[in-house]
Chain A
Amino acid sequence: MKYIDEFRDPVLAGKIFSEIKSVTTGNWVIMEVCGGQTHALIKNGIDQLLPDKIELVHGPGCPVCVTPLELIDKALQIASIPDVIFTSFGDMLRVPGSKKDLFIIKSEGGDVRIVYSPLDAVRLARENLDKKVVFFGVGLETTAPLTAMAVHQARIEGLKNFYLLASHVLVPPAIMALLGSPNNRVQAYLAAGHVCTVMGWEQYIPISEKYKVPIVVTGFEPVDLLEGILMVVRQLESGRHEVENQYARVVKREGNRPAQELINKVFMISDRKWRGIGTIPRSGLVLRPEYAAYDAESAFGINDLSIEEPTECISGLVLQGLKKPYECKAFGLKCTPQTPLGATMVSAEGACAAYYAYGRYNDGAAK
């Protein structure tokens, strides 16, 4: 298909590989923030084909992974309430809470439904006025405008039976938290193309300047990823640190203004806990007071839960690029995609799950 096939062309990919090889002289650690890119890099074997001097580490931009266990447990509690229709994207259904997952709740009689678009949840509310319809909205800035539109639309239609359980995280505060850490190893970033589609890339300029890191907005196809890597390596080799846009066919400097406007209308920024990392200041979105009536957490009076994570899990270190998944003792043994212990194994986009699925079991295999 147009705009996919050209960017998967192996001959073109080969050319970019050669170019990366010829420009690389130093040792560089590059982080891709987005879980979708992590998955694409590992699946296409790009990590293994790159020169040894380039190390890819995988960042925290997997919204399913970083959704706190407490919030998954809240979702499970709400989904078990008899007159509730609980909706979410398909990948949330098998994410385990501390005891169950949404599939189990469904098999126990809970009305749990997968929706393709948040607007499908609004339609369900419209068609089932005697039920309470909850949408579990999980995502980065890419997904926030979709959830915002659902809440906005429910309000316009005057629906009183639509609720949002929101877990929206923001990428720039997370990058800053990682770069500001004394343990930071990352020298350059591939910024997530679809996050920037919504938000634009201006907000990365101060980060690039402050921490002197190259940041390249990058797409998701093999050619995009390789070109993004080439662009950061060129910057690193020449000592530059700028924000560049590899994904210009989709991402504009200012992003998508109508989407940003609706995000700002419906949500406000708040501190946010990231599973595996901890609380990052001003890194999440919560409903504004004007939209409080749609807030599922307060509507269903679910109290704050507090849950202990398994101590052997090192996903926090994996998410910061300090450890590789195969360095975890539980990897592939106690912890698999069927029985995940931590954040980075719960979603196919998590680094541990990608390493497991594509056979990166040890150091030798990873390079």
Chain B
Amino acid sequence: MCLAIPGKVIEIFGESGLKMGKIDYSGTVNTACLEYVPEAKVGEYVIVHAGFAISIIDEEEAKKTLELWDEMAEKAAGKGLDIFGMSLGENRDKEK
């Protein structure tokens, strides 16, 4: 129910007095209301829940999360730590 997914703002327009946008979800384009992210710009990624963008994704923060783990990986390299990851990977493949 609270499922919200990232998408890229590709166009901004007005409709019935509301700020709206066209959002691209890897190929599927749909409309979302941008009233709750008034500062959103074309090219930015937003999180959309039931036709409303509720947050602009902070690229810096996303990078920080991922880089932190890259550093850890370098430290852990050579320890052969990926066994659990492999089994999760198999799960994922089955789903596809």
Asked if A256 CB lies within 8 Å of chain B CBs, one says: yes
Q: Nearest Cβ distance between residue B62 and chain A, in whole angstroms? A: 4
Asked if B89 CB lies within 8 Å of chain A CBs, one says: yes
Which of A91, A146, A250 touches B52 (beta carbons < 8 Å)? A146
- Please, how many angstroms separate the alpha-carbon atoms of A3 and B23 in the complex? 14
Task: Say whether A249 contacts B57, CB under 8 Å.
Answer: yes
Chain A 247-265, CB within 8 Å of chain B: the 1/0 string?
0111110001011000000
| Known A17-B88, A119-B18, A249-B62: A36·B54 in contact at CB below 8 Å | no
| Known A10-B92, A116-B51, A227-B65: A1·B1 in contact at CB below 8 Å | no
Task: Say whether B4 contacts A194, CB under 8 Å.
Answer: yes
Which of A18, A43, A251 touches B84 (beta carbons < 8 Å)? A18
Q: Nearest Cβ distance between residue B66 and chain A, in whole angstroms? A: 6
- Please, how many angstroms separate the alpha-carbon atoms of A364 and B57 in the complex? 40
- Please, how many angstroms separate the alpha-carbon atoms of A91 and B50 in the complex? 12
- Please, how many angstroms separate the alpha-carbon atoms of A318 and B45 in the complex? 37
- Please, how many angstroms separate the alpha-carbon atoms of A45 and B16 in the complex? 45
Residues of B within 8 A of A140 (CB): 1-2
Q: Nearest Cβ distance between residue A37 and chain B, in whole angstroms? A: 9
Determine chain A's interface SS by DSSP, over half rule: helix
- Please, how many angstroms separate the alpha-carbon atoms of A252 and B95 in the complex? 32
| Known A10-B85, A10-B89: A143·B51 in contact at CB below 8 Å | no
Task: Say whether B88 contacts A1, CB under 8 Å.
Answer: no
- Flag the segment in A100-108, A149-157, A233-241, A319-327 that touches B: A149-157
Residues of B within 8 A of A1 (CB): 6, 25-26
Asked if A202 CB lies within 8 Å of chain B CBs, one says: no
Residues of B within 8 A of A12 (CB): 66, 69, 85
Which of A49, A120, A123, A157 touches B87 (beta carbons < 8 Å)? A49
Q: A11-B89, A14-B85, A192-B2 are in contact. List 15 more A-B contacts (CB 8 A).
A: A1-B26, A14-B83, A15-B82, A61-B2, A63-B1, A89-B1, A116-B50, A139-B2, A153-B16, A153-B18, A194-B47, A220-B3, A227-B65, A256-B55, A258-B35
Residues of A within 8 A of B52 (CB): 117, 145-146, 149
Q: Nearest Cβ distance between residue A252 and chain B, in whole angstroms? A: 8
Nearest CB to that of B27 among chain A residues? A1
| Known A89-B50, A149-B35, A248-B61: A18·B55 in contact at CB below 8 Å | no
Asked if A85 CB lies within 8 Å of chain B CBs, one says: no
- Per CB-CB distance, the 3 closest pairs between chain A and chain B, nearest first, are A14-B85, A117-B51, A10-B89
Asked if B29 CB lies within 8 Å of chain A CBs, one says: no
Task: Say whether B6 contacts A2, CB under 8 Å.
Answer: yes
Sorting the interface of chain B by its residue count into under 10, 10 to 19, 20 to 34 or 35 or more gives 35 or more
Asked if A34 CB lies within 8 Å of chain B CBs, one says: yes
Asked if A161 CB lies within 8 Å of chain B CBs, one says: no
- Please, how many angstroms separate the alpha-carbon atoms of A146 and B29 in the complex? 20
Q: Nearest Cβ distance between residue A240 and chain B, in whole angstroms? A: 19
- Please, how many angstroms separate the alpha-carbon atoms of A249 and B82 in the complex? 26
Q: Nearest Cβ distance between residue B3 and chain A, in whole angstroms? A: 5
Asked if A195 CB lies within 8 Å of chain B CBs, one says: yes
Residues of B within 8 A of A13 (CB): 84-85, 88
Residues of A within 8 A of B35 (CB): 149, 258
Asked if A222 CB lies within 8 Å of chain B CBs, one says: yes
9 A/B residue pairs, CB under 8 Å, sorted by A: A1-B25, A11-B89, A15-B85, A45-B87, A49-B84, A123-B16, A142-B2, A250-B58, A259-B54
Residues of B within 8 A of A252 (CB): 55
Residues of B within 8 A of A6 (CB): 62, 66
Task: Say whether A145 contacts B54, CB under 8 Å.
Answer: yes
Residues of B within 8 A of A222 (CB): 88
Nearest CB to that of B26 among chain A residues? A1
Nearest CB to that of B76 among chain A residues? A15
- Please, how many angstroms separate the alpha-carbon atoms of A34 and B91 in the complex? 22
Task: Say whether A14 contacts B65, CB under 8 Å.
Answer: no
